[in-house]
Copies of this chain bind each other. A is one copy, B any other.
Amino acid sequence: MAVYTEVSDDDLAAFVASYGLGGLLSYKGIAEGVENTNYVVHTEKGPFFLTLYEKRVAPDDLPFFLGLLEHLSAAGITCPTPVHDAEGRMLRTLAGRPAALVTFLEGVWLRRPQPRHCQAVGEALARLHLAGRGYRRRRTNALGPAGWRPLFQRFQSRADEIAPALAATIAEELDTLDAQWPSGLEQGIIHADLFPDNVFFLRDELSALIDFYFACNDALSYDIAITLNAWCFEADHAFNFAKGSALLKGYQSVRPLAPAELAALPLLARGAALRFLLTRAYDWLHTSNDALVSPKDPIEYLRRLKFHRGVRSASEYGLGNGA
């Protein structure tokens, strides 16, 4: 949570003026957002959201992300929509950073989601997958299976500082997933990071999906596995069957899963848990004490990984229970 790049009033007023949104009324740097600097900007045409992209976002990926938001908005998904400036550009430069102005979306993310919210998230994820069809740009999943082993090698020697035998556990899991990772599953645009803080609700209805800066092309069912990990475990790391069941039911009500996707779900869920275990472990070992952002606990995802290892079929996630 931080503002990494300060923008001056003169620079922002000139920037906003080029969009035809009337005058700049106010702007506030907001504390949310780990990767980028974000401002809520009020103009005479209403509120907007300004993002300055910091070093963790590759500038070459920005046309993919901004184009995707525009494509999804046109396909009926409520997500931030990039505003074009007078010259038609979505991507600009401000205070030396790549920058984009997008629509401001009302809504609140849920600190304690209930099963009904998980069902709504499942539905929204499936709608997102359908809406992604036809998007022409492509982005490889940098944090997909091919990226896990190189990432692990960057902290393998220190992994056991986090938990006893963590290095061995990860090495073994990587071998299993390398050998068994499913192929032939339906591919498409995935969000890849649909955690509760990226889903807004208004009056108990899902109102928007945000933060598409991990979106990429990968197996759609792998996105379900990520979302299952993100939404369906309790604070004590126990799987919540009612939430898993609701999420899968919601998803299937929009896009029924193929038999191969159902069969692969336990393995995909292991992979998704490993992916977050790896990035969190890396961040845990590489965050300085005076960082503005506290690293998230990697152990949560070790616990999830161990749970998924014991799962024999998708029915244990709630499929068949009305899903």
CB atoms of A108 and B26 under 8 A apart: yes
The number of times this chain is found in the oligomer is: 2
Of the 9-residue stretches A27-35, A66-74, A130-138, A227-235, which lies at the interface with chain B? A27-35
Measured CB to CB, the nearest residue on chain B to A7 is: B111
**A30 lies within 8 A of B27 (CB):** no
Do A111 and B10 touch (CB < 8 A)? yes
- A115 in contact (CB, < 8 A): no
Rounded to whole Å, the gap between the CB of A35 and the closest CB of chain B is 15
A residues contacting the other copy or chain, number (CB 8 A): 35
Give residues in A with beta carbon < 8 Å to B.
1-3, 8-10, 12-13, 23-32, 40, 42, 47, 105-112, 200, 202-203, 289-290, 292
Q: Which 7 A-B pairs have the closest CB atoms?
A: A29-B31, A290-B290, A25-B106, A3-B31, A28-B30, A8-B111, A9-B108
List 29 interface pairs A-B (beta carbons < 8 Å), by A numbering. A1-B29, A3-B31, A8-B112, A9-B108, A9-B109, A9-B110, A10-B111, A10-B112, A12-B108, A13-B108, A23-B202, A23-B203, A24-B108, A25-B106, A25-B202, A26-B105, A28-B28, A29-B30, A29-B31, A29-B32, A30-B31, A31-B31, A40-B40, A42-B47, A42-B106, A47-B47, A289-B289, A289-B290, A290-B290
